[in-house]
Amino acid sequence: MTSRALVVVAALAVATAAGVAQAPQGQQPGPQSEGAIRQRPGANRAPEFPPPSIIDYKPRTTLVVAQHPVPRAKFPAIDIHSHQPTPMTAAQLDTVAASMDSVNLQVLVNVSGASGDALTRSIAALRATRHRDRMVQFTNIDFRNVGPGWAARAVAQLEADAKAGAVGIGEINKGFGLTMRKADGTRLKIDDPDLDPVWQAAARLNLPVLIHTADPQEFFEPIDFNNERWLELSMFSDRRFSGPQYPKFEELMTERDRLFKRHPKTTFIAAHLGWHANNLARLGKMFDEMPNVYGEVGAVIYDIGRQPRTGHDFFVKYQDRLLFGKDSYQPDEFPYYWRVFETGDEYFDYFPAPRNYHAFWKLYGVALPDPVLRKLYYQNAMKLVPGIPKAGFPR
């Protein structure tokens, strides 16, 4: 070895011993994350072009995988959560029935809340048409002015409506607990004891209760760029509940669960999976602790479709507790539900624009086995609501 080579070797040894990283030629060492040997490529870069807004950024996917769209449900379905006019004209029913046929919906449960005279007229109008087997009617409870004498009147109305042909109660909407006031001006809590006679009557009359409590938990949070519903909240002022005038999400959930537990003989169907589709372990715990509680899947398909493995296992485990429901009646949106439930498709779009503001992510199918699909689509609903016509379903 020459004396010059010896000097180079010695210098390298000193540098290595001191722990000094050798920067590649022509590049300055940048800040390093803890434990990293060298800077990550592109770490300090920023876009050279103005970034698009989340409205404008619509990257087309280059993923090529099998596609199995499902225009019609594999088995005839009951929509336990449908909103239709009350009453409906024969012409309106013709239109709705034709659209039901196109997606294999057999029965709609109209939960638009007709009661008294409107309910009677609604049921009479339905029975006068050839579509009498395609729709049933729930009644509703008028929660205004709860106070002395209210419960007796409400129970009498329920009895009359059941006699007129109502086969359930609901949809009790999100205003119950969130904004509804008692006669004395205080907020009507979901588990208010003044309401107990009504829940007891529901059990006695065998009327299941479809109840929508609160809204997605992000609607109760500040609308910042960490809120996964920012886009929707920016579009709909009536979905913002983070203000001090509203109860907290967890406060409403606590009241709801106390109600469910205090009336174990009353059947409750938690609309929108109780807004726990983003936390199925929590919903499973509710089902375990409250045998009188069921869940309906309306408007939360974006949550089921982003957890295909957890979702599949949950629907299999709780197959006796889940009912199909859609809420908003948009015939072209039902196939997205069928595809999530029936296929193992990957990375497909949620609803078409402009109805895709709920979720900017892609969906995956949970590929449910046929016996589970049957329960979800119609068998569980028939068990809970014996008044649903049997015509048109597999025997």
- Which residues of the chain form contacts with Zn ion (CB under 5 A)? 171, 327
**CB of 327: closest distance to Zn ion in angstroms?**
4
Distance of CA 256 to the CA centre of its chain: 17
Is 171 or 257 the residue whose CB approaches Zn ion more closely?
171
**CB of 236: closest distance to Zn ion in angstroms?**
15
DSSP state of 268: E
Distance of CA 379 to the CA centre of its chain: 20
Measured from the Cβ of residue 137, the count of other Cβ atoms closer than 10 Å reads: 28
Closest CA to 363 of 285, 298, 311, 295: 311
SS3 content of the chain, % helix, strand, coil (to 5): 40, 10, 50
Q: Which two tokens stand for residue 131?
A: 């579509």
For residues 88 and 329, what is the distance between their CA atoms, to the nearest angstrom? Answer: 14
**CB of 329: closest distance to Zn ion in angstroms?**
10
For residues 192 and 146, what is the distance between their CA atoms, to the nearest angstrom? Answer: 10
Is 257 or 327 the residue whose CB approaches Zn ion more closely?
327
Amino acid identity, position 46: A
* Inter-residue contact 387 to 126 (CB < 8 Å): no
For residues 189 and 316, what is the distance between their CA atoms, to the nearest angstrom? Answer: 34
Is 108 or 372 the residue whose CB approaches Zn ion more closely?
108
Is 191 or 327 the residue whose CB approaches Zn ion more closely?
327
* Inter-residue contact 317 to 288 (CB < 8 Å): no
- Burial tier of 48 (Cβ tally within 10 Å: 0-12, 13-18, 19+): exposed
Measured from the Cβ of residue 86, the count of other Cβ atoms closer than 10 Å reads: 18
**CB of 211: closest distance to Zn ion in angstroms?**
10
Is 298 or 311 the residue whose CB approaches Zn ion more closely?
298
Is 173 or 380 the residue whose CB approaches Zn ion more closely?
173
**CB of 323: closest distance to Zn ion in angstroms?**
13
Is 142 or 288 the residue whose CB approaches Zn ion more closely?
142
Strand 135-137 and strand 169-172: the pairing is unpaired
**CB of 336: closest distance to Zn ion in angstroms?**
18
Is 209 or 366 the residue whose CB approaches Zn ion more closely?
209
Strand arrangement, sheet containing 135-137: 77-82, 105-110, 135-137
**CB of 171: closest distance to Zn ion in angstroms?**
4
Closest CA to 145 of 194, 191, 202, 178: 194
**CB of 149: closest distance to Zn ion in angstroms?**
29
**CB of 347: closest distance to Zn ion in angstroms?**
29
Q: What is the dihedral of CA 366, 367, 370, 376, to 10 degrees?
A: 20
Is 110 or 319 the residue whose CB approaches Zn ion more closely?
110
Closest CA to 156 of 115, 209, 206: 115
Measured from the Cβ of residue 19, the count of other Cβ atoms closer than 10 Å reads: 6
**CB of 180: closest distance to Zn ion in angstroms?**
16
For residues 305 and 300, what is the distance between their CA atoms, to the nearest angstrom? Answer: 9
Measured from the Cβ of residue 243, the count of other Cβ atoms closer than 10 Å reads: 7
Is 171 or 218 the residue whose CB approaches Zn ion more closely?
171
